[in-house]
Structure 1
Amino acid sequence: MRLFAVADLHLGFAANREALAEIEPRPDDWLILAGDVGETFNHMRLAFEALLPKFRQLVWVPGNHELWAVAERDAEPGVPVLRGAERYLAFVDLCREYGVLTPEDDYPLIVVEGREARLVPMFLLYDYSFRPPEVAKADALAWASEGGVRCADEQFLAPAPFSSRSAWCEARCEETLARLEALGDETVPRILVNHWPLREALAKPPRIPRFSLWCGTKRTEDWHRRFNASVVVSGHLHMPSSRLIDGVRFEEVSFGYPKQWRGRRAPDAALRQISV
């Protein structure tokens, strides 16, 4: 089978919802959805119902937009708006209803174009450590604001039951680290998947470089080497790219907002083939 990946479908936009119909069927292949499918459970259902008939298996990792608790978007009569870890786990439950793999499942051993690989979907968040060394963490938001940058996560992404998004990030990193170390010294290459970039150098949007605060954690800087990765897949930046670092390919696979893809590429072309 072949492995494909796409991130940042942002199905809150009508044009992006319509674009799903243009994705060609690949019934023998797997598709990674690397976060920011949308903001609501209905967005996720829409993605699954459009894409599951076209692929053998879907794999999902969360982005920040799935974690947004926006009452007017989520409102269903008699259903409370979920926040924080409770919201994430509710999305995991939804994935399991559809047979979609998540970071909470065992990391599958797969065969991609005849080569074995361990697929590792992760949920790691960010901790504001992607900032200059002279900027203290307590001053990080002010530093970003001075550059005209503020992320909506500060309003919509609740970390409950954790004290902060940084604390939630630390817990997710520790849990994932333990699982990766438990794999031992197997020689099978790994495909690491996370919505946010694993390295700071990849998290600097040229127009808004101070947005890096919300783009990952320095804790993962060496994970591509430490855990025998052949490929690292991410999204979040809306800057599709393919780079080789330390012999490892880093694939940013964002689709993006309508203004970012319309007239530039067909929706089906946004799917990146991932080779081991």
Structure 2
Amino acid sequence: MRLFAVADLHLGFPANREALAEIAPRPDDWLILAGDVGETQRHLQIAFESLAPKFRQLVWVPGNHELWAVAGRDDPADTPPLRGEERYRAFVALCREYGVLTPEDPYPLIAVDGRAARLVPMFLLYDYSFRPPDIAIEDALAWARETGVRCADEQFLSPHPHESRSDWCRQRCEETKARLLALGEEDAPRILVNHWPLREELAKPPRIPRFSLWCGTQATQDWHRRFKASVVVSGHLHMPSSRTVDGVRFEEVSFGYPKQWRGRRAPDAALRQIVV
């Protein structure tokens, strides 16, 4: 089978929902959805109902938009939206209803183009450590605002019941690291998948470099080497690219907002084939 990946479908936009119909069936292949499918459970349902019949298996990791504490159109008006850990767990439960793999499932050993590989979907978040060493963490938001950079996560992404997003990030990294170490010294290379980039130099949008604050954690800077990755898949930046660091390919597989893809590439072409 072949393995494909795409991130940042942002199905809150009607044009992006319509674009799903243009994705060609690949019934023998797997598809990674690397976060920011949308903001609500209904957005994930739309993706699964459109794409699950076209692929043998879907794999999902959350992005920041799924974690936003916003109400869906079909949610009861008198019920506050889920937030934080509870929201994430509800999305995992929805994935399981559709047979979609998540970061909470065992990491599958798969054969990609006939070669064995361990697929590792992760949820790691960020901790504001992608900042200059002379900027204290308590000054980080002000540092970003000096150039007009803000992130809606500060309003919508609750870390509840954790004290902060940094604490939640630390917990996720520790849990994931333990699971990776438990795999031992197997020969199969790993395909690491996370919505946010794993390395700081890959997390600096040229027009808004200080947005890096919300793009990952220094804790994962060496994970591509430490955990025998052959490929690292991410999204979040809306900057599709393929780069090699230390002999490991880093694939940014974002689709993006309508103004970013219309007239530039066909929706089906946004799916990146991941080669081990």
What is the alpha-carbon distance in structure 2 between the residues aligned to residue 77 and residue 223 of structure 1?
A: 43
* More displaced stretch, 209-218 vs 72-81: 72-81
**What one-letter code is carried by the residue in structure 2 that aligns with 1:101?**
L
Q: Is the 8 Å Cα contact of residues 41 and 74 (structure 1) preserved in structure 2? A: no
Residue in structure 2 matched with residue 90 of structure 1 by the alignment: 90
> Separation in 2 of the partners of 1:188 and 1:10?
33
Structure 2 residue 229 is the aligned partner of structure 1 residue 223? no
Secondary structure class of the residue paired with 2:65: coil
CA distance 1:203–1:30, change in 2 (3 Å): same
- Cα shift at 1:147: 1.1
Matched, 1:186 2:186: yes
Alignment of 1:148-167 (within 5 A): 148-167=148-167
Aligned length: 276
**Percent of pairs identical after alignment?**
82
Residue 46, structure 1, aligned to residue 46, structure 2:
yes
RMSD, matched Cα: 0.9
Q: Say which SS state the counterpart of residue 66 (structure 1) adopts.
A: helix
Displacement of 1:70: 1.5
Listed one character per residue, the Cα deviations across residues 179-227 of structure 1 (whole Å, up to 9, x for unaligned) are: 0000011111000000000000000000000000000000000000000
CA distance in 1, matches of 2:122, 2:172: 9
Shift of 1:80: 3.9
CA distance in 2, matches of 1:263, 1:16: 13
> Are the equivalent residues in 1 in contact too, given 2:40–2:72 (CA < 8 A)?
no
Mapped to 2, the partners of 1:74 and 1:106 lie a distance apart of 32
Note the C-alpha offset of 1:255: 0.0
Paired residue for 2:20?
A: 20
Provide the secondary structure at the position in 1 that maps to 2:4.
strand
Q: 2:273 and 2:227 mapped to 1: Cα distance? A: 22
What letter corresponds to residue 185 of structure 1 in structure 2? E
User: Following the alignment from structure 2 to structure 1, what is the Cα–Cα distance between the partners of residues 42 and 87?
Assistant: 14
Task: Provide structure 2 residue ranges, at least 5 long, that are not aligned to the other structure.
Answer: none
Q: Which deviates further from its counterpart, 187-196 or 76-85?
A: 76-85
Letter of the 1:81 partner, please give it: P
Distance 1:152 1:187 in 2: 41
Superposed, 1:1-276 pairs within 5 Å as: 1-71=1-71, 73=73, 75-77=75-77, 79-276=79-276
Between the aligned partners of 1:151 and 1:27, the Cα distance in structure 2 is 38
Deviation larger for 69-78 or 128-137: 69-78
Determine helix, strand or coil for the equivalent of 1:206.
coil
Distance 1:107 1:175 in 2: 13
C-alpha distance after superposition, 1:131-183 (max 9, x if no partner):
01111101000000011000000000000000000000000000000000000
Query: TM-score, normalised on structure 2?
Result: 0.98
Q: Which amino acid aligns with 2:141?
A: L
Contact 2:35 2:66 in 1 (8 A): yes
More off after superposition, 76-85 vs 47-56 = 76-85
Q: Runs of 5+ in structure 1 lacking a partner?
A: none
Helix, strand or coil at the partner of 2:191: strand
Q: What secondary structure, in the 3-state scheme, does the structure 2 residue paired with 1:107 have?
A: coil
Q: Secondary structure of the equivalent of 1:191?
A: strand
Distance 1:167 1:63 in 2: 17
- Determine if contact 1:125/1:172 at 8 Å carries over to the other structure: yes
Q: TM-score, normalised by structure 1?
A: 0.98
